[in-house]
């Protein structure tokens, strides 16, 4: 039970700070949207595309890997979907993912969104869900079935869906939300503080489109094989979802990175 002092502090913070901010930034007295150009929505992040900052509970198991595995810790740590599969192995990773998908989203969540006035849900997906490749074969099995479950709930409660291609082959931004943290260099087993260290931010690479030249700010070469693969994935998404009236928009490549900006592309389901 919280102490009286803790309760007083919480009440004071609410009355003096959070209540004022809530009044300043909340969209009060705004009803449910009445046309196709004003959507009131949220995102189902961390579900089908896992990210450590959204679902840290899936990644706590990798703490202390240096003590358990020594120099092999770099192969035993999950930082993103790619290394989650390689660190745990396909069978164990898929077992944990299926449990996560089942418990992370329930029908009551979609119902509660609908009665709260939410009319649109953005669902991040990965290209390997539609055309599997290593290390996701056997690791991400069942994800499309889970997506169909979510679409069914949204259809039942009148919520429209934006499908977001959140992760593509070789990473469109070098971040964990793209499927793989790239580029990544492990620096020894232990730091002076007893923790394993790695280098990432200053060598971050978005290798989906090709090799980006940080000096010229241009791609020296374009990876046409990856581009063609992604187009095939988009066609597969189109084939599966084009007749689903629940889906109102599609985002072909989320957070594309050229070291200067992020680009977002949208299309309506009528353009599929």
Closest C-alpha to 183, from 203, 169, 197, 208? 203
Q: How far is Cα 77 from Cα 80, in angstroms, rounded to an integer? A: 9
Q: How far is Cα 18 from Cα 67, in angstroms, rounded to an integer? A: 42
In tens, the pLDDT along 46-64 reads: 999 999 888 899 988 888 7
Domain boundaries 39-271, corresponding CATH code:
3.20.20.80
The Cα-based distances of 233 to 61, 65, 68, 129, 179 in angstroms read 32, 35, 39, 9, 15
What are the E-state strand segments in the chain? 41-43, 120-126, 160-167, 185-187, 197-199, 210-213, 218-222, 247-251, 256-257, 262-263, 267-268
Confidence bin at 269 (pLDDT 50/70/90): very low
pLDDT over 60 at 226, yes or no: yes
pLDDT at res. 272: 43
The predicted model gives 213-221 an average pLDDT of: 75
pLDDT over 50 at 5, yes or no: no
Is the bond into 61 cis (omega within 30 degrees of 0)? no
Of the chain, the percentage scoring pLDDT greater than 70 comes to 67
- The number of angstroms, rounded, from the C-alpha of 135 to the middle of its chain's C-alpha atoms is 17
Q: Mean pLDDT score of the chain, rounded to an integer? A: 77
Least confident of 13-22, 48-57, 196-205, 247-256: 13-22
- DSSP code string of 88-155: H-HHHHHHHHHHHHHHH--HHHHHHHHHTT--EEEEEEEGGGTS--TTSTTTSTTHHHHHHHHHHHHH
Q: Are 147 and 123 in contact (CB under 8 A)?
A: yes
Confidence bin at 123 (pLDDT 50/70/90): very high
Tell me the domain boundaries of the chain: 39-271
In tens, the pLDDT along 159-179 reads: 999 999 988 887 777 667 766
pLDDT at res. 271: 45
- Chain position carrying tokens 């990432």: 200
Q: Are 161 and 44 in contact (CB under 8 A)?
A: no
pLDDT at res. 103: 94
């Amino acid at each position: 039970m919280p102490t009286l002092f803790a309760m007083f502090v919480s009440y004071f913070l609410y009355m003096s700070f959070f209540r004022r901010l809530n009044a300043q930034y909340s969209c009060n007295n705004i009803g449910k949207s009445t046309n196709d150009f004003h959507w009131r929505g949220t995102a189902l992040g961390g579900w089908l595309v896992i990210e450590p900052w959204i679902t840290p509970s899936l990644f706590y198991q990798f703490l202390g890997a240096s003590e358990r595995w020594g120099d092999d810790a770099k192969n035993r740590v999950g930082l993103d979907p790619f290394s989650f599969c390689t660190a745990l192995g396909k069978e164990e990773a898929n077992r944990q993912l299926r449990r996560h998908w089942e418990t992370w989203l329930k029908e009551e969540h979609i119902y509660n969104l609908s009665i709260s006035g939410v009319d649109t849900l953005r669902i991040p997906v990965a290209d390997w869900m539609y055309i599997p490749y290593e290390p996701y074969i056997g690791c991400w099995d069942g994800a499309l079935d889970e997506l169909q479950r979510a679409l069914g709930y949204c259809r039942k409660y009148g919520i429209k869906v934006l499908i977001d291609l959140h992760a593509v082959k070789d990473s469109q931004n070098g971040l964990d939300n793209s499927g793989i943290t790239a580029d990544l260099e492990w620096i020894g087993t232990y730091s002076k503080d007893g923790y394993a260290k790695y280098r990432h931010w200053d060598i971050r690479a978005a290798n989906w489109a090709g090799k980006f030249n940080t000096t010229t700010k241009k791609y020296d070469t374009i990876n046409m094989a990856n581009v063609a693969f992604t187009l095939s994935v988009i066609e597969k998404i189109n084939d599966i979802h084009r007749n689903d009236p629940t889906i109102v928009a599609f985002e072909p490549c989320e957070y594309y990175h050229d070291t200067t900006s992020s680009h977002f592309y949208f299309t309506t389901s009528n353009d599929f």
